[in-house]
Structures are given as structure tokens and as C-alpha cells.
Structure 1
Amino acid sequence: MSFFYNAKSVCQRTNLGIDVSCIFFDDRREISSVEFFSELETALKSNDTMPDCMVFVAGQNLISALKVHWDSPTQQDTFVTRGIRNQIHYIKEFHFYSWEATGLVEHHIHSTSQGGSRFTLNVGEILSQGLKSLVERNDVVQVAPAGHVFRHPSGTVNKLFIQARELAKSEPQLCFIGRLIVAQLENSVKDELCIVFIDTMSIYHYVHEALSFIGSSARIHSFHSYDDVKKITPPTEPYLVVISASTSGGMARQLHKNQRFDPRRLVTLVDMSSQGRSGSVLVALDKIDSQFRTLTETGVETEIELVGEHFSSKAKPPRAVTLGIPHTPKHLKAALKFFDVAGFSALNVPKQPSGTRVISLTPPLIQDGDVFDRWLRDEIRWSVSSSIDFIVHTNDDCSLALANRASVLLAEARGGGSIAVLSSALINHDVLALAKGILVVTALAGDGGQLREISRDLREYVDPLLPRHFLVGTGLPQSEEAWDRLKQFLERNTSHRRYGFSARLVLPTGPESSDDAWRAMHRLAEKADITELEHVSVAASIVTDSLQAATGALHAGANGYLAKFDGSALRLSEGFLFFDDVFKDRIQEVPEAAIFLAMSSAMQAARECKIPGNQLKPTGYESVVISPECFLRFNDSILQACLLRASLPSELDYSASPHLSKLMKEFLIKVFDRYSHSYGAAASEFAAALATGRLKLKKSDQDEVLSKAIDHVKAAPSALLGLLLLANDL
């Protein structure tokens, strides 16, 4: 129905930078008013910060219909209100554009300010950023793994493999690309086209969409990349050549220089650069990320020869990574000491401030002279500007306490004077009118959503040259990359100086997928509750009772892990590698959330490890999994459960490796065989992982595991048997 993305542009009239949310609507079908506003809300929620304006683009007939929907007073007011905070319109304009065969036509502008339109947009430049979004979200560019390079059919050797066929993953995206191809062409090229040459049939649908848009019946001929490119010559009838991808521009250059094709009639969909190329380039990778340029440089690496268009992450068996000392998170020990036992709530129980969705934490009270207070005192003295006279804190008690302590220390450092402290929910232009410098504090931050909101508010309320410092007690981002993006967003401004940024502890905790292990368990409980199963070797009454027991066990473990076979909770023994001596002689007091935090952050450290062989990160050439040895090394039942829950499904997929699948098969057979002993205490967790599809073996291995396990426990109903039957029913 629509394709939306976020773009950055510059107003052509004022030369001010603006954030734009652009939504392109596919006009193959009619769109109702409810669908229209639903798409707008979804697009708006995809922004980290509120955009300055929104741009709606559609065909001539559809844009008129969308304008009618927009003119509905109730729905329009409801949506416009979403862009208002503290009586300030953050979304200042809504632009409607009609995309016709001859180009883009401005259809309507709705301004939320009384003075009329404030922005003059370069809509062509905004639309071109949609291609950047497609390249980034659709995995168009594959990078060779460490120590390897690709040898392309042209003979070019570099670390990039571009799959132009992956540009579009939906009909709106396909329609969008087709129209941008047309936008690249001069009118003299579009008129009376008779034939279009393409280098691969994988881009046929893009070209067909472009021809349909201009009403052309030109035939499409594939010359199969470098195999037949030397055989084609410029036809006497009007033509066009569309090349899927290139890293050097070699094919377009050959067609132009050697075979005398008109460069106006040469279009490359994806290329490393648009500079020094024959013909036009739809997407230039060096404008998306300058680091791509370095990937064209090669040294003495193993060559991977590309044959054809297909390239799979399972081109070779997955690489297994074993967690160990190299994966110890840098700040884990300090974080565990800081929060200690009392700082953790139960798993999946929301509590403010929240570090992650699964884990909720409460920082301890600041005490004069403790480790945190000494860090705060030093940071105030050494890093925070003396001109700061206003402290803004995120809206929670822990951050308020941190702000009050920072106020006292800052007053001491300045030799007196009052420092105003205010919640972020109460700031506005009038409150901050006399501020000479602002310190923003939060006790605990995840990926920094609240800090981004405060930063955006401050852009509206105060002069950008006003000194500003962001201070974070503990950062629990999903990844180092997410934290770097937050820091970059908060530090950069319109001046050549950067705003200050401080954080005592930063501990990446791993990705928070909406389809995580606990959600998968919830869906499994729903399935167990309504599913009717039969098994040739298990009595019907035992099957029914076992499914009911499985449902009960899954509900009982909704905020933790599945219990042992006897109903007792999974436990941790002394000697956990990543705890070191933090909880020495107190291991029974450690909450489940602390154990999960340690294991999840260790796995994230493995994903971000700088040593290629120890890195738990797949490439386009190689997938990666947790080594079966990890379940032997971390043999406490609760650690095995944490491994299963904290892993991504791809990291537990052993189906592509006969060797690893066999190792897991042998391990699981022993676990299910000893389900009533400490060795197999996590048997229900492994059975549930198989039943949800998060843990995968080769089909023959998985069938053997389930067959033996079911035979071993089929004598009496149990939750474990119910989970095994559900796994067998997949």
C-alpha cells in the first residue's frame, strides 16, 4: 500500500536543515480514509524524532483522493495533534505531490503555522533518499567476510557484492523504483522507446514497471551480463540499456566507449559512485556510506568467485562460536556491583526506569563518597561547563535524585549560586528563557529514546549555541552501534563545537526483537491450550493431560524460565565465568534477571567482538551459530536456559551443518534421558525451544531426538512430554 522512509533535506528558501518523513503510495488500488491515516501513523512512529514536515507522494488520481481523505476535519485534527507537544507544532507542514509521467507536481500544502508555507522542498533529492533507505533495509550490499574478496564476472576484485534484485521487497517499493528509473531519463529517451536491454532478468520487474508508468510497449531483451555484452550493438530504433549493478562502472563504460552506445540511454541501478561514469546512476553507494569506498581496495585475500546472481549466507556451513573469556563484557562486573541484588526486578515485569524490555533495573541511591558519587563529582568538575545553571532530568525518581546531587556538586564547583532542577515533562520556552547552560541527566538509559526527545525539545526552546551537556548514569543499549548513534545525535549541532556527553557505565545487552523468546513461549502456550494431538505410541489421555501440563508450565514461567521436572526453579551454582567474584558466597540470592543480563550482554559482546574467529556475527558469505560446546561449558540449567532465550533464532539453527547438528543431537538425547537429574534440569527449556522453532537441527536428527525422548517419558503425563509432542507436531 505504501513505502515510507525518513530523509534529511535543506529548505531551498532558508537553507535550514529539516527532517522529512516521506510516504509513497502505490496507486494500483484505491485507499480508504482509514487505511490512509493508518499508514501515516505507522510512518510517523518509525521516526526516532518528530519530523519537521511530511511529504505524501502518489499518482495523479490517487493524490486527489488522498487530499479528500485529508480534508476530513476530525481525522486531520487527530493526526495533526500527534505532532504537537507543549503547544508547539513540531510537524510544521504536510506536502502532497502528484507523481506523473512528466515529473512531480505539487498538489497541495497544509501548514500548521499562520504565516503559510515555511519550507521550499527539493522533492527530487528527498525521493532519491528513498533509494538509500531501500539499500540499507533490504540487504542489497553484501560484504565479503574477513580475509576474503569477491571476484566479479567482469574480473573486478573487491569486497562488495551488490544484489540489485533485492532493492524492492514489496509492490510499493517496486513501483517507487520504476518511477525513479523514469525520472532519470530525458524526454527524448522516453519518447517512442522500442527496446530495452537489461543485463539480467532479475531486474526485469523494475524495467517493466518503468515502462508501464510511461505507457510504453517496448520489448525487453536480456543480454546476460558479461557473457553477451560484446555481441550487442546500438539498434537503429529508440533504445535504453539498464544495468543492474556495478562497482567500477566497467560495463557501462564498455558499452559507451567500445560499442558507441549513447550515454544518455545508459542507466545503472546501483554503482559504487556516480562520478566518472558513462550514463546515469540511480543509487551511488559512496553517497550512502563513504566506508564503501575502502571496500574496493584489496590486499592478499582469498578470492570468492561469483557465478551468476545468487549468493547465500549458507554458501558454506555455519561457523560455530564458543563463548569464553574473550567475550566478557567490559563493564559487566561494574554494573553487577552497582545494581547488586536489590536493583533487579523479576524478568518481564515493567518498572521505571527500564533498561531493557526483559530486564528492569532500579539504580541504588547515591551516597556521598561512594564510587558513583566520586565519578559524578569528577565529571562535574572536569567535563561540565561552569556556565550551566539549569538541570533537566528524565521523568523518574532515580534521575531526580541524580539531578539533585549533580546540582549540589555543580554549585560547589562554581563556588555557590543556585542551580534550577526540573523534570523534562515540565520544560518549555518560557521556563528555559533565562538559562545560560543546560545539563540533561538520566540515571538509566537504553537506546536513549527519552534523551532524544529532550534534545529535540531543546532545539525548539533554546538557542543552539547555548552550552549543553548530557550525563547518563548507566547505559544499557542494544549494541555499541546504537549507543554511538545516540551519542552522535546528542553531541552534534549547528556550530563547530559539540555538546558534552558523559556516561559512567555502558553495557550493550543485545537486540530486543519484538519476536523474542518469551513471546514465542506465550504463543506456544496458546497453541498447547487449543491443539488436539495424537501419537501412535502415547495414550490419548496422557497426550491430553500432558498438553494441559505444558500450558500450565508455560504460564507459570511467563516471567522467568520453565521449571525442572519436579517443579522446582532452575538454579545457579558457584563459579559462573561472567560473575567473577561479584556475588561470592551469595549465589543463591542472585535474581534470574541478573543472570540473564550477564549472559545476554556476553552474547552481545561476542557479536561485537573484534576478533573475526570469535565474532558471533554472520556475513553474506557465512552464517554463525552458538557452538554446542557452550551448553557443556555453561552446564548449570539456568545458564543453558539463558543461552536459549538470549540467542537469536539464527544462532541456534544447526540445520545447515551435519556435524553441528549431530553434536546437538547427541547432547539433547542425553539431556532428555536424564531429565530428572541435575544434568537434564533444563530439559523443558530445550523441548520448548524445539517446539517454538528457535532451536533447529537437521530433520533426521531432530526426529531421532524427539522419538527417543518421547519414548523415554511417555509412561505418565508431564509438561515435558507435552512440549516434546508439540515439537514433534511442527
Structure 2
Amino acid sequence: MNNFYIYDVFYKDGKKNTSTTVIFCPGNFLDIEQLQLELKLFYTNHFQTDRTVLIGGKYIDKFVEKITNARKDIFKYVPKIEDITFFDNLHVLCFDINGNIHEQSHNDLKEFKGLNTFKKYFINQGLTKIFVERGGLVESTGSHHHYMFPSGRKHSDKFLRVANILLYSSEIYFIAFRLLQFFKTENYKEIYCDTSSINSVAIALNDLLNRFSSELKIYPINSFQSYDGLYSGKVQLKSNSFILISASTSGNILEYIIEKNRELKKDNIVTLFYLDNTKPSKIALEQVACNLTKNEGNPNGVERFVSYESQHSCDLCISGSYPIEISGDVFLLEKPKINGVRIDASDMDIQTSSHFINQFMSYKGNSSIMKTNYKEIGEGFVKKYEVYIDYSYIIDNISSDNRFKKYKEKLDAYVNQYVPSNLKYILHLNDDASKKLAEYVKEKIKANYCSSSIPSLISQDQFSKISKANEGSILIVGSCITNGKNLLYLSRALRNYKLRIIYFIGIIRPNNQKSYSFLRTNLKYGRYGAENSTFIEVEKIFCSNKNIDNPWQEELNFLKKHLTLSDDLELNTFLKERIKSIENCYSNEVRGMHDNLFLPITKAGKGSKNLKIRRNSAFFNRENYAEHVSQSDVYFNIAYVINKLRNSENSLHTLKQSAFVRNLISPENLNRFNDGIIQACILRSASKEELNYAFDEELSGQLKDILTTIFKYKTQEQGEAILEFLYSLAIKKMTLKLHHLSYLLSILENEKNYLIRFFCKIIKIEYKLISNNIDSSN
């Protein structure tokens, strides 16, 4: 996404307020399908403006013809479109090597009246939007620190940081397009940047210049590391140097460069983003790509902020705030790149997931195998599985439950094929399900042996019963394996035995292919090489293997905390019942949750029935799934998808996180998959990092719009998961910009439902919007 930079411009054309949607095309060709898709997404959060303008370079072959010929397809998803009115106000502009804009005429396009007025506003507003929405204004949080500018003198609690905004190539090329007006190819031979963090802009500028020429020219790009490099005296700037300053609030750096480098004139230097925070610099204003200052012509600009000329005059220092020096090319508080990840068909992987899910699906919402929140207690450990596969139920009912017919056929075939005639031992892992599977295997094969040769059945704890003198083979049986630690332990323990090993696993469920391959390779390797031992699994599925602090353990802690703080009888009754429903699933008889996973639907002012899947879900391919699936079946399916994304090796489509990249679950998923139970599954299975929309203004805005609908229609299908959304906000698992959150809470200001009131009050307390006093009353 973001192959095009699309934004709205607002200005006065004479006395008339005018709005224009700008579509900047940064590439050297026009991708019609991609543009259609990005416009579709854009208009989910934006309204149709007075006119639409496409802008591209003159190097794009037949630019205007391609647009006019495909205009019906390109603008297919523009809302409430009236063809005649819309296309009468559709215009195509091209820019040349000097950055000059020219209208492209065509029989199907009308003249752009008011073009000159448009030119005055569209670039600066477009650049300001990039800067503001991508977090270019860095603000210190709290009072413990503030910033000391690179000059070493000025102090402030705000700082302009251009590196934060360079996230998308379309926006970087838009900045470079603006610089064409300042760069004269006959005058300059090299480009200097005040910090290497903006080198991408210089590279994009070089690329744009080459698109207009038949001869490739590479301009050397260097950095003088802001004031550090300038003060060192090592940087030699000449009259053929083109110099880019990332940002300035005074213009002092520009004046300093001219003073110390006599060959230079003001035309050699351009400041990308300028805020006339003090007395405006005339020289700086003439050589600015974008003036961020908020005014009538730039309504979404940056407000002037207070800065102090020195430490001695700094009120922040006097109050005890610590000044953080910003120097060179490194700024440790840099915000990471933000990506919104959209769940697609490849993530659902229906062919793999449904093969597994369909054969183990619940029957009329009961007799579930795929469960959540099972608490397994062993020697020295307590595991609380997010996702649990109840293999005991499978093996107990394998002959009587028709659901397991295909699994039984496969299991029996594998027993016949892979269990050798020289088998001496059947060793099972210590859990009950593994013991039951081992007993099943022994029962199937015992007719193949005379009574004196029937293999011995032993547990992992009885390993000492194995004789080193015995020759033959050993079958190691595991019911449902996640990481295979016990198998690796047994593999090492059997190295000095003469027995050939066959690992026989009912279901293997590692979290990714890498973990599976690692386990399989290590278990098979032995004295005679990579295929020394045999590894057999009847079924395989990749899914989450989280077993600490799963979503229901987190909810349990939350409920118990607020139960002690509340004196509201109705609320306390609900909290106690909810706690009981979570804790009751730990017994060996119940073995995990299959129903009541989520907070209930609110109806007629009261908490009522449970969330259920609707028909025609994209996540299931079985016709009658809606009649049978339990909540835990649905959760298993969604958790499978989220886990698959976390382990994706596609850097452009993954939920892997790093210090420099934050991949979030796109809010669009909550709109596309509007089943309340699907939304609840996404919220529960996702991590905090994957739902941290406070990182990005645009994603936070998208989420705000989606939640607005859910909150307003809370008693209808659209809002059936409102309690799950509020809970996620209350525990700060899902976060968004504070001004968006405040707006959402205002929608529920006079809410009567006691559970909604309860969660809203907690959210307000957590975000310090009210004092700490928990009960459900207003």
C-alpha cells in the first residue's frame, strides 16, 4: 500500500471554500489496479471533495490518456459518485524537471479553473500533512526530560524530527518533487544533507532528475552531521554544492553556513521543513520546501512552541527537567516505521486450516477438542495454554465418534506401516493422553506378537527399565506435541542404546515451520546420519504455543483486581460469575474452555447471550459449520491466522516486530470481518504490540471510525462485541491516540448499561481522565 500519496487540500478560491483530493503518482508508470485499491481504502475514511487532481511526471508515457481511458475503473469506489459532476472536476497535471506544473488537456477533461490558486496551497499542505501525521513533531512525555537542539544552545520540550516521517516512498518522492523547483542541474554537482537520515530524499531527487534525461547522472550524496560537522571545519562546501537542511525553527543554520562558506549563496541551501518559531528569517523563508507554521492558508500546520535561548534561561531546566542533547545523525528517541497488516486469503490458508479444523470441529457447539485456557500442572511447572487440543477426548472416542473416522483410518494405517515387528518397548510421555495413545497402539499390534514378545509399555518416568543390552526398536509415543522438549530429552538419553527409535506423534503443533524442521531434524539424526531414526506425525498444524499469561489469565487478574475495588452489587455478581467460568475449566474433567470465552452481547441495557459465528464466514469452508462450531473452534481458527502472520518471512506482510518497524493488525480487518466473535478473537489473540494504534495517526483514525459505528450500534449486530473492545481498551492492549479515545468515550457518556459504564470508567482512570474510584455508577 501507499504506492500513491493521496490527500485532501482545503483553501479559498476567491471567496469560495474549496476542497481538492490530490493523487500524487511517484512512479514512472501508472498502476491502475493499485490506484483503484488505494482510492477504495482512502475513501473509507474521507469524503468526496469538490475536485480531484492527479499529478505525475512528464516522463510517464501517455499519462493523461491512461487516466481518461481507465477513469471508470480507477474511481469505481469513490462514494456517492455522480459521473458527470465528478468527471467534470477531474484534472490531470504534469510536472517538469524544474518542478513546474502544467495542466494536461484532453477531450474528456474540462479546463482546471482556479489552477493558479490551487498551486499556492497544494504542495505546502501536502508536505505539512506528511510531517504532522507521521509524527515529525517530537514531544517529550511528562516533565522528566526535554531537548537541547543541535546548535547546543536552544532548549524546548518539542523538536522537529524529519527522520520520523520518511516511512513511505510515495511521500518521500513528494518531498523530492518539491525540491525540483530549487535544484538547477547546470549549477550543482553534489548534494549535502545535514543528517544522513534524510539521504532517502536526496536519492529520490536524483532519481526524479534522471527520469527527465536520457543520460544517467549520479550525484554524490554526503552528510555533514548537522552542527557537529559544520563546527569541525572538515566539510568543504563549494558553489556547486546543493545543501539540504532537514528542519529548522530559526534559520540560524542557513545563515551560519553562508557565513562560513563564502562561495555559497542562499540558493545553494534548502530547508525541508521550517517553523518560524521566533523572529522569521527572511533568507530561510525564501528557501523553504515546506513552512509548517499554522495559519489560515495552512490550517493543519504546527503551532509555534516555546523555546529557550540557553540553559540558564530555560524554565524546563529550572523546574528539574533533564536536557537530552540531540546531535549528529543519531537520535535515540526515533519512532519506528508503522505498517498496517491486512489479513488476506493466503493468511487464512483454508486448505490447511480447514482440513484440520473440520475433522475436529465441535458437534452442535459441544464435545469440543480445540479449546483455550487449559491449566496443566506438572512437576515444577504450571502451563496455561492459550490454545489446547484435547487429545484425550479424541482417543477416548475415536471408535464411537463419527467425526474422527478419517483420523482413525489414518492413525491405524500409520500404525500398520511404521510400527516394526522387532519392537521391544512402547514408551509414552507422562501425560494421560500420550498413555492412552500408547495403549491404543499396543492393542492394535499385540496380535502380531506371541505373548512373550509383546512390547513392554512404559512411561517416560520408567526409562530406567530399558535394558542397554536389548536390540530391536522402541516406539516413543506423544499425543500432542508443541516444542518437543521431552522428545529431545529422550533422544539424547537413548544415544548409547542399541534400539532404533520411531517417534510416533498423534498431533504435532509447533508454532512455525522452522521449529518443526528443527525438532524433526534433530530427532531423526543419530549414529548413522540424518535418517537414523523415524519421525511420524498423524496430523500437523502450526499454531500458537503460548502457555504463560494467556488472554484469559490476563482477564482473570483484571477481574480479581476490580472485584476488590468495587462495591456495586450488580457489577460484583457479574465479576464473580465471570471469574468462576474461567477458573472452572482447569479440572482434568473439563480441560479448557470451549464456550463463554468472551464477554457477552449487550442487549436492552443488559448483558445477555454469547457471541456466535454467522454464516458465510471467509474463515470456514464447511457448509454447516455455523450449526456446530464452538467459540473455541472459532478462536483456534483466528489464532492460527495471527500465528501464521507472526511467522511470515514476507517482510511486507508480517506481524514480526523490530526496534525500527512496528507491524500492526490493520484496523480494516475489524471492518471487513464484522462478526463480533471474529473481532473478539482478533482482540484476544493479538499482542499489545500488534494493536498499538497510538503509534500512527492514520491507523488510530481508522480505528476510531470503526469503533464509532460499533459504539453507536451497540445493541445491534454491528456492535455485538462492544464489551470486548472496551475491555481491550481498559487493559491497554488496544491503544489509540488520546484525542480519538476521548471522542469515543463521549459517545458512551450517558450509557445505561452497567458493564459498559464499568469499562468506560476504568478506561478513563487508566488514561488519567478521571480520579480513581471504581464502581459502575456515573
Partner of 1:402: 437
**Correspondence list, 1:121-200, <5 A:** none
In 2, Cα distance between the equivalents of 1:607 and 1:479?
9
Q: Deviations over 1:69-108 (max 9, x none)?
A: xxxxxxxxxxxxxxxxxxxxxxxxxxxxxxxxxxxxxxxx
In 1, Cα distance between the equivalents of 2:536 and 2:377?
21
Q: CA deviation at 1:659?
A: 0.9
Contact 1:528–1:726 under 8 Å retained in 2: no
Structure 1: unaligned runs, 5 residues or longer:
1-144, 148-152, 158-223, 232-305, 533-542
State the one-letter code of the partner of 2:358: K
Does the residue aligned with 1:490 lie in a helix, a strand or coil?
helix
Q: CA deviation at 1:340?
A: 3.0
**Correspondence list, 1:375-414, <5 A:** 375-380=410-415, 387-407=422-442
Q: Do residues 359 (structure 1) and 388 (structure 2) align?
A: yes
Q: How many residues align?
A: 428
In 2, Cα distance between the equivalents of 1:311 and 1:528?
37
Q: CA deviation at 1:707?
A: 2.5
Does the residue aligned with 2:608 lie in a helix, a strand or coil?
coil
Q: Deviations over 1:408-452 (max 9, x none)?
A: 666788999633332223231555642421111122122223323
In 1, Cα distance between the equivalents of 2:754 and 2:565?
16
Over aligned residue pairs, what C-alpha RMSD do you find? 4.4
Partner of 2:372: 347
Q: CA deviation at 1:360?
A: 4.4
Q: Deviations over 1:509-539 (max 9, x none)?
A: 225163332222222213322447xxxxxxx
**Alpha-carbon spacing, 1:310–1:580, altered in 2? closer, same or farther (3 Å):** farther
Q: Deviations over 1:595-620 (max 9, x none)?
A: 11111011111222344433222344
In 2, Cα distance between the equivalents of 1:515 and 1:400?
28
Contact 2:386–2:547 under 8 Å retained in 1: no
**Alpha-carbon spacing, 1:315–1:396, altered in 2? closer, same or farther (3 Å):** closer
**Correspondence list, 1:416-435, <5 A:** 418-431=454-467, 433-435=469-471
Contact 2:664–2:693 under 8 Å retained in 1: yes
Partner of 1:692: 731
Contact 1:688–1:723 under 8 Å retained in 2: yes
**Alpha-carbon spacing, 1:657–1:630, altered in 2? closer, same or farther (3 Å):** same
In 2, Cα distance between the equivalents of 1:478 and 1:545?
43
Match of 1:443 among 479, 488, 494: 479
In 1, Cα distance between the equivalents of 2:389 and 2:569?
35
Does the residue aligned with 1:444 lie in a helix, a strand or coil?
strand
In 1, Cα distance between the equivalents of 2:574 and 2:333?
37
Q: CA deviation at 1:592?
A: 1.8
Partner of 1:630: 669
Q: Do residues 336 (structure 1) and 357 (structure 2) align?
A: yes
**Alpha-carbon spacing, 1:492–1:316, altered in 2? closer, same or farther (3 Å):** same
Q: CA deviation at 1:557?
A: 5.7
Partner of 2:769: none
Partner of 1:214: none
Q: Do residues 321 (structure 1) and 342 (structure 2) align?
A: yes
**Alpha-carbon spacing, 1:563–1:314, altered in 2? closer, same or farther (3 Å):** same
Partner of 2:520: 487
Match of 1:571 among 609, 612, 624: 612
In 1, Cα distance between the equivalents of 2:624 and 2:556?
35
Does the residue aligned with 1:695 lie in a helix, a strand or coil?
coil
**Alpha-carbon spacing, 1:601–1:727, altered in 2? closer, same or farther (3 Å):** same
Structure 2: unaligned runs, 5 residues or longer:
1-166, 170-194, 200-227, 236-326, 583-592, 767-778
In 2, Cα distance between the equivalents of 1:437 and 1:704?
68
In 1, Cα distance between the equivalents of 2:416 and 2:640?
31
Q: CA deviation at 1:494?
A: 4.9
Contact 2:371–2:633 under 8 Å retained in 1: no
State the one-letter code of the partner of 2:486: Q
**Alpha-carbon spacing, 1:555–1:598, altered in 2? closer, same or farther (3 Å):** same
**Alpha-carbon spacing, 1:331–1:591, altered in 2? closer, same or farther (3 Å):** same
Partner of 1:562: 599
Q: CA deviation at 1:548?
A: 3.7
In 2, Cα distance between the equivalents of 1:415 and 1:310?
76
Match of 2:740 among 696, 701, 705: 701
Give TM-score scaled by structure 2 length: 0.48
In 2, Cα distance between the equivalents of 1:598 and 1:327?
8
Partner of 2:265: none
In 1, Cα distance between the equivalents of 2:361 and 2:753?
40
Q: Deviations over 1:339-377 (max 9, x none)?
A: 231342763244799994443413523459943344345
State the one-letter code of the partner of 1:447: N
Contact 1:329–1:602 under 8 Å retained in 2: no
**Correspondence list, 1:269-288, <5 A:** none
Q: Deviations over 1:561-581 (max 9, x none)?
A: 111113211111222222210
In 1, Cα distance between the equivalents of 2:701 and 2:196?
41
Does the residue aligned with 1:614 lie in a helix, a strand or coil?
coil
Does the residue aligned with 2:503 lie in a helix, a strand or coil?
strand
In 2, Cα distance between the equivalents of 1:335 and 1:420?
32
Match of 2:406 among 371, 376, 384: 371
Does the residue aligned with 1:703 lie in a helix, a strand or coil?
helix
State the one-letter code of the partner of 1:399: S
Does the residue aligned with 2:494 lie in a helix, a strand or coil?
helix
Larger CA deviation: 386-395 vs 551-560? 551-560
Contact 1:311–1:621 under 8 Å retained in 2: no
Q: CA deviation at 1:546?
A: 7.3
**Correspondence list, 1:454-493, <5 A:** 454-459=490-495, 462-463=496-497, 466-493=499-526
In 2, Cα distance between the equivalents of 1:367 and 1:146?
57
**Alpha-carbon spacing, 1:454–1:576, altered in 2? closer, same or farther (3 Å):** farther
State the one-letter code of the partner of 2:357: L
In 1, Cα distance between the equivalents of 2:538 and 2:333?
41
Give TM-score scaled by structure 1 length: 0.51
Contact 1:343–1:364 under 8 Å retained in 2: no
Partner of 2:536: 502
Partner of 1:597: 636
**Alpha-carbon spacing, 1:611–1:307, altered in 2? closer, same or farther (3 Å):** farther
Does the residue aligned with 1:364 lie in a helix, a strand or coil?
helix
Q: Deviations over 1:179-204 (max 9, x none)?
A: xxxxxxxxxxxxxxxxxxxxxxxxxx
**Alpha-carbon spacing, 1:314–1:575, altered in 2? closer, same or farther (3 Å):** farther
Does the residue aligned with 1:318 lie in a helix, a strand or coil?
strand
State the one-letter code of the partner of 2:487: L
Does the residue aligned with 2:693 lie in a helix, a strand or coil?
coil
Does the residue aligned with 1:502 lie in a helix, a strand or coil?
strand
Q: Deviations over 1:427-484 (max 9, x none)?
A: 315556424211111221222233234334434xx52x53112111111223333333
Contact 1:323–1:630 under 8 Å retained in 2: no
Partner of 1:645: 684
Does the residue aligned with 2:478 lie in a helix, a strand or coil?
strand
In 2, Cα distance between the equivalents of 1:308 and 1:414?
75
Contact 1:557–1:563 under 8 Å retained in 2: no
In 2, Cα distance between the equivalents of 1:444 and 1:455?
17
Does the residue aligned with 1:487 lie in a helix, a strand or coil?
helix
**Correspondence list, 1:238-257, <5 A:** none
Partner of 1:523: 557
In 1, Cα distance between the equivalents of 2:645 and 2:469?
47
State the one-letter code of the partner of 1:390: Y
Contact 1:470–1:500 under 8 Å retained in 2: yes
Q: CA deviation at 1:656?
A: 1.1
Does the residue aligned with 2:337 lie in a helix, a strand or coil?
coil
Q: CA deviation at 1:327?
A: 3.2
Q: CA deviation at 1:630?
A: 1.3
In 2, Cα distance between the equivalents of 1:402 and 1:329?
28
**Alpha-carbon spacing, 1:415–1:606, altered in 2? closer, same or farther (3 Å):** farther
Pair member with larger Rg: 2
Contact 2:475–2:503 under 8 Å retained in 1: yes
Contact 2:373–2:387 under 8 Å retained in 1: yes
